[in-house]
Structures are given as structure tokens and as C-alpha cells.
Amino acid sequence: MTRVVIAPDKFKGTLTAAQVADGLERGLRSVVTDLDVVTVPVADGGDGTLAAAEYAGFRRETLTATDPVGRTIDTAYVRDGERAVVEMAEVSGLAMLGDDLDPMNASSRGLGEVIAAALDAGARTLVIGIGGSASSDGGAGMAQALGARVLDSNGTDIAPGGAGLDDVAELDLTGLHRGLADAELLFACDVDNPLTGERGAAAVYGPQKGASIEQVRELDAGLGRWADVVAKATGADRRDVAGAGAAGGVGFAAVALLGAELRPGAELLFEMVGLPQAVVGADLVITGEGTLDEQTLNGKAPAAVAKLAAAQGVPVVAVCGVNKLGADGLSRLGVRRAYALMDVARDQDEAMTQGDRLLEQIGAQVAGFALL
């Protein structure tokens, strides 16, 4: 029996990865009824990470935590026994602030609170997706939520956010969460930026979080002071580690304070949801995301799916809302053909509102091209 693996990312703002997969499966089966279809929604560490893990059988655990600007919110992580997945975008995400960005005061504390909750519940392997962060605090807020004391020269806890790093003078790690000692923390990180400097967290990502030119300078200086204090407390300077600048410096704190490992996001999530095993022996893999473009080629989920399939000699096709890759780009991506909602929709409104139906059409087209 022909086996097809459907492993898309979400179509951001319109369809979840599971909805994309369901529409495609209906279309495939309308043409070829005798199919073994394996659905594995994927993500790369940003929004949609929890949904992908939950679809794979992880159980959602709800809790209250602190959002980027200090408000108490309802959030969640997912767990399967001693394995847990945490998504920064769900608790400390930029999108949560809408138009009210706060680059100087936004904190990563909520992320630390969710990690602590997972450790308290018995998780010992944690995959932590850090895409879409709102803060540039070097992970200081996360560290505080996990029991570290981040102090000014008077021995007082510093204020939240990157602005608080102006006053950082001392780090006390004696109260760090006990569960960290025997836990494996894997942070999903797809950038190689250092913590500071012209390629650092503030310079590259601060403007996306609302920082002005002057605020970028202030944030970068504060991150440098934070790195000095951490180096003094730990005996090692990790500011130049590849990925230290991820998520406003959360990557730095993860490595320097938590003993964590930074790994490509899609690779980590694939392991957690069982995609490598699903691809073995498949006849076709279908992947995709909302927009196929140059960013897709730089380690996003569809590129990682295509690479995984290629290693097994399995052909790949892609689906998307909009395709901005030409023939050369699709070849570099490793897919035989791409199918876009905008190619079958009458207009953008239909593509945005009738995606389920249009994906059925595309699924039928894929079956005619690849399975008959």
C-alpha cells in the first residue's frame, strides 16, 4: 500500500498545521482511496510548537504565569511522562503585546515560570522553543523565575526587562531550581548571533521589538554588563557562543546558567513528534507553510522536512499559501513541485477564508501528479 507522510507547518493566521494536513488527506483520498496516510504536523520552535507536540500525543498542562509586561495570564506547556515541550511564544511572545511593544521592560520571566512548572511536575527532558520572543533581557527574567537572584549594587533585585540590566551588579545562583541538576534542557535555536555587538540580540532583533536606535544602544550596553556579571559568577564568558543572542539573549542564559544545549528547532521538534521514524519507508512526503520564500530555505520546518526525506530517498512536494520561490529555489529546498492556495483561489480573500476546501483541491492535484 502506498504510504504518504503529511508533515506541514501552520499557515500562519489562517490554518493550523493539523488543519492543513486534514485538508490534504481528504484531497488525496478523493483520488486514491487505498492509501496509508501518516499525519505529523510540525513546527520549528516558534508559535505552533505546542500544537504539533499535542497532536503527537503530548498532554496539555495549564497554569498561570507572567506575560512579557508583568500581567498574569493563562498559559500551558505539554508533557508526555518525563518529556515536556515549552513554547516561549505562548507566555513571553512578541505577538502577545500587539501594538503595545515595550522593548525596554519586556521580560522573559514567564518562560522561566513555565520551565519551573514542568520541572516541578517531573519533566526531565525539556524542549524549549524560543522563537517569537518579546524581550531583550538576556534571559535574566527567566533565570530569576528559576531561583537566581539578579541584583544591583545595593543587593536589590533589578527591575524587569533590558532596562533593568543597566543596574546589574551581582548574580546569586544558590537558589537555582533543584530540578535543573538532573534535567536535560534543549533550547530550539535557529540563529547563530552572539549576545552583544553589531550582530547581537539588541542590534539585530531589538528594532523588531520596538527599540529605537538609542534604545538599541542602551540594551546592548546592558547585555554586556549582564554578560560580565554572569562570567564573574560562573567563571566562563559565554556571550560569543553561537545562538547566545537568540530570543533577546535567552540563548545566552540557557547555556551560561542552565547548562542547556542549543539545537536547531525543527530538528528537535521532529525528534519529539516521531517524524524521522514516520518517513522511513514512505513513498511520498508532503510539507509546507504559509509562505515559501528565502526564509524557508534558512532552516525553517519545510526545509528540514525536505532534508530529512532526501536522506531516506523519499520524494517531497510542498504546499503553501503563497509561493515566492522560483524553480531554482524549489530545487534548493529539495521539493519536486509546490502547490499554492493562491494558484487555485479566485482572490486573496478566498485563499484566506476557504483554505480547507482549496487544500482538498490541491491534495487531489498532488495525488494525480505523484501517486498515479
pLDDT at 299: 80
- Same structural domain, 227 and 296: no
Number of H helices, E strands in the chain: 16, 13
Half-sphere exposure of 76 (CA within 13 A, CB side): 14
- Same structural domain, 170 and 114: yes
Tens of pLDDT, residues 255-278: 999 999 999 999 899 999 999 999
Tell me if 14 sits within 8 A of 259, measured CB to CB.
no
**Neighbouring-strand partners of residue 184:** 125
- Same structural domain, 71 and 53: yes
Cell of 312: 531516506
pLDDT at 13: 87
Q: Tally the domains of the chain.
A: 2
Cell of 303: 526545509
- Same structural domain, 260 and 332: no
Beta-carbon count within 10 A of 206 CB: 25
Indicate the pTM of the whole model. Answer: 0.94
Cell of 344: 487555485
Residues 6+ apart with CB under 8 A from 282: 3, 4, 5, 38, 309, 312, 314
- Same structural domain, 92 and 183: yes
SS3 368: helix
pLDDT at 129: 97
pLDDT at 372: 78
- Same structural domain, 203 and 325: no
Residue 363 structural domain: 2-40+274-370
- Could you please report the per-residue DSSP string of 113-155? HHHHHHHHTT--EEEEE-TTB---STTHHHHHHTT-EEE-TTS
pLDDT at 196: 98
- Same structural domain, 170 and 236: yes
Domain containing 345 — which CATH number? 3.40.50.10350
Domain ends where: 219, 240, 265?
Answer: 265
Tens of pLDDT, residues 13-47: 899 999 999 999 999 999 999 999 999 999 999 88
Tell me if 4 sits within 8 A of 284, measured CB to CB.
yes
Cell of 302: 519545510
- Same structural domain, 179 and 253: yes
Domain ends where: 233, 265, 297?
Answer: 265
Tell me the C-alpha distance between 37 and 24, whole Å.
10
For helices 265-273 and 301-311, angle between their N-to-C axes, nearest 10 degrees: 60
Tell me if 118 sits within 8 A of 258, measured CB to CB.
no
pLDDT at 358: 97
- Same structural domain, 211 and 112: yes
Domain ends where: 224, 246, 265?
Answer: 265
Tell me the C-alpha distance between 91 and 213, whole Å.
27
Residues 6+ apart with CB under 8 A from 318: 286, 287, 288, 292, 302, 306, 330, 333, 335, 337, 338, 339
Domain containing 105 — which CATH number? 3.90.1510.10
- Same structural domain, 191 and 329: no
Mark the ranges of the chain whose per-residue pLDDT is less than 70.
none
Question: Quick one: DSSP state of residue 356?
Answer: H
Tens of pLDDT, residues 167-210: 999 999 999 999 999 999 999 998 999 999 999 999 999 999 99
**Neighbouring-strand partners of residue 87:** 129
Question: Quick one: DSSP state of residue 196?
Answer: S
Question: Quick one: DSSP state of residue 235?
Answer: S
- Same structural domain, 261 and 144: yes
- Same structural domain, 332 and 356: yes
Tell me if 366 sits within 8 A of 8, measured CB to CB.
no
Cell of 44: 520549528
